């Protein structure tokens, strides 16, 4: 199951190609971000109204005549931490169309209640039990498949299938269902690239999860679905209609961003053999390398908010209902906060980045993501001696304007 075609249906759908196209064919957006930030850290962008009428159906989504792009770290943090003035409700009109009502689109106090319930499934004690039995085991079996070859492409053979398999195991899904689960997951995640396929995948996953939830209500197991069913806060438990969207949200939130983050981390180290050697020799640097990779190449460049009232941000007036695009990637490279922000430097002074967001909506799965990245990196360093970028590979690089990661990461190493 470690090949690039893992989980692909007979129609030739290639999830890796879909993700590469979804990311956007932009190699380096950071000079553009820097120029926008220097001109105005809050930039109003005007659009024409969507044309009405006609026979072509419009995809569900917000109708905008303008939006405001935020590129400075300080102002991005202000938006993310102020849920009273900046709502996440707009996600109901985009990702909510295929996932249902997730905590992503909820504002306090509703968001706090639901987050408290699902957070019980991600507490430290639970993550500790997953570390070796699920996460470590998954990395081991993937590396086993190519460790004797002396060469590999670490994106399709390791980083891409790794978090989806982890989620499948965490949910307690039968191994026989993994290919189907991977296919449906990738189709759902690629909603911006193929809306109809994502809607169909959402419908099929909902039916599949319905069977899983019904089974766990009858026969509780030691898995995430059972933990969500049994979670209780102030006498409230999650209904099936509340569990479905959360399980669907796990896929883009827990699989795609983690695969991209891990790929970026590996690329950053491989592109600088000196830093790779330093981390290999001193594993205390692994957490710093992870945080620096998350800052340097943010896997998801932008998150969205909607102004709940007329507000002023950085001296720029934003009307109630105004769409605010917070550029996490630009904020993470703000020179006012990070000296030489375009450099990947595992020795950089630790300062909080915004790759997991901030405030009430700070990523619920960030501790799991960090754990997965740590386990994966340590396994790669332990099991692939002499690891280096393949000198025969052509132009290995990170790209994307919506999401950021290398489409491929061909390497060579001393075979086991």
Question: In the chain, what are the domain boundaries?
Answer: 15-44+64-385
Architecture of the CATH domain 15-44+64-385? Orthogonal Bundle (1.10)
CA distances from 171 to 179, 184, 188, 224, 363 (A): 15, 15, 17, 5, 19
Residue 23 contacts residue 405 (beta carbons within 8 Å): yes
Q: Taking Cα atoms as reference points, which of 306, 300, 313 lies closest to residue 363? A: 300
pLDDT of residue 54: 40
Can you tell me which residue has the tokens 């967001």?
Answer: 357
Residue 105 contacts residue 88 (beta carbons within 8 Å): yes
- C-alpha 382/C-alpha 380 separation (Å) is 5
pLDDT of residue 3: 37
pLDDT of residue 124: 77
Beta bridge partners of 303: 326
Taking residue 9's Cβ as centre, other Cβ atoms within 10 Å add up to 11
Q: Taking Cα atoms as reference points, which of 404, 372, 364 lies closest to residue 102? A: 364
pLDDT of residue 62: 47
pLDDT of residue 47: 64
Q: What is the pLDDT of residues 276-298, one digit of tens each?
A: 999 999 999 999 999 999 999 99
Which residues of the chain fall below pLDDT 50?
1-10, 49-62
pTM exceeding 0.85: yes
pLDDT of residue 9: 45
- C-alpha 104/C-alpha 172 separation (Å) is 24
pLDDT of residue 14: 64
Q: Taking Cα atoms as reference points, which of 281, 287, 276, 264 lies closest to residue 387? A: 276
Q: What is the pLDDT of residues 90-124, one digit of tens each?
A: 877 777 777 778 777 788 888 887 787 777 777 77
The distance of Cα 126 from the centroid of its chain, to the nearest Å, equals 21
Tokens representing 44 are 């109003």
């Amino acid at each position: 199951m470690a090949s690039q075609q893992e989980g692909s249906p007979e129609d030739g759908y290639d999830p890796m190609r879909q993700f590469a196209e979804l990311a956007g064919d932009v190699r380096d957006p950071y000079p553009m971000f820097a120029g926008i930030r220097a001109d105005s850290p809050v930039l109003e962008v005007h659009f024409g109204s969507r044309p009405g009428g006609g026979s072509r159906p419009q995809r569900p989504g917000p109708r905008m005549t303008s939006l405001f792009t935020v590129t400075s770290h300080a102002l991005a943090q202000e938006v993310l931490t102020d849920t009273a003035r900046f709502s996440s409700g707009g996600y109901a009109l985009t990702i909510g169309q295929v996932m249902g009502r997730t905590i992503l689109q909820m504002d306090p106090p509703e968001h706090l209640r639901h987050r408290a319930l699902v957070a019980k499934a991600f507490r430290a004690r639970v993550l500790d039990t997953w570390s070796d039995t699920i996460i470590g085991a998954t990395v081991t079996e993937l590396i086993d498949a190519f460790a004797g070859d002396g060469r590999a492409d670490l994106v399709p053979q390791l980083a891409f299938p790794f978090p989806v398999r982890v989620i499948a195991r965490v949910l307690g899904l039968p191994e026989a269902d993994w290919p189907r689960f991977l296919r449906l997951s990738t189709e759902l995640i690629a909603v911006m690239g193929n809306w109809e396929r994502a809607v169909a995948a959402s419908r099929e996953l909902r039916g599949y999860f319905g069977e899983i939830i019904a089974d766990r209500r009858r026969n509780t197991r030691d898995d995430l679905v059972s933990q969500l069913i049994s979670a209780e806060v102030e006498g409230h438990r999650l209904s099936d209609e509340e569990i479905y969207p959360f399980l669907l949200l796990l896929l883009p939130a827990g699989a795609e961003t983690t695969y991209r983050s891990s790929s970026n981390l590996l690329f950053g180290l491989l592109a600088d053999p000196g830093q790779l050697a330093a981390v290999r020799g001193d594993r205390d640097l692994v957490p710093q390398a992870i945080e620096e990779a998350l800052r340097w190449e943010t896997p998801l460049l932008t998150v969205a908010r909607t102004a709940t009232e007329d507000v002023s941000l950085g001296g720029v007036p934003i009307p109630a209902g105004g769409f605010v695009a917070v550029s996490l990637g630009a904020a993470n490279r703000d020179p006012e906060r990070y000296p030489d922000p375009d450099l990947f430097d595992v020795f950089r002074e630790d300062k909080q980045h915004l790759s997991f967001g901030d405030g009430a909506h700070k990523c619920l799965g960030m501790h799991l993501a960090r754990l997965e990245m740590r386990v994966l990196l340590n396994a790669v360093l332990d099991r692939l001696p002499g690891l280096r970028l393949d000198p025969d590979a052509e132009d290995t690089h990170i790209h994307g304007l919506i999401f950021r990661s290398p489409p491929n990461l061909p390497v060579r190493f001393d075979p086991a």
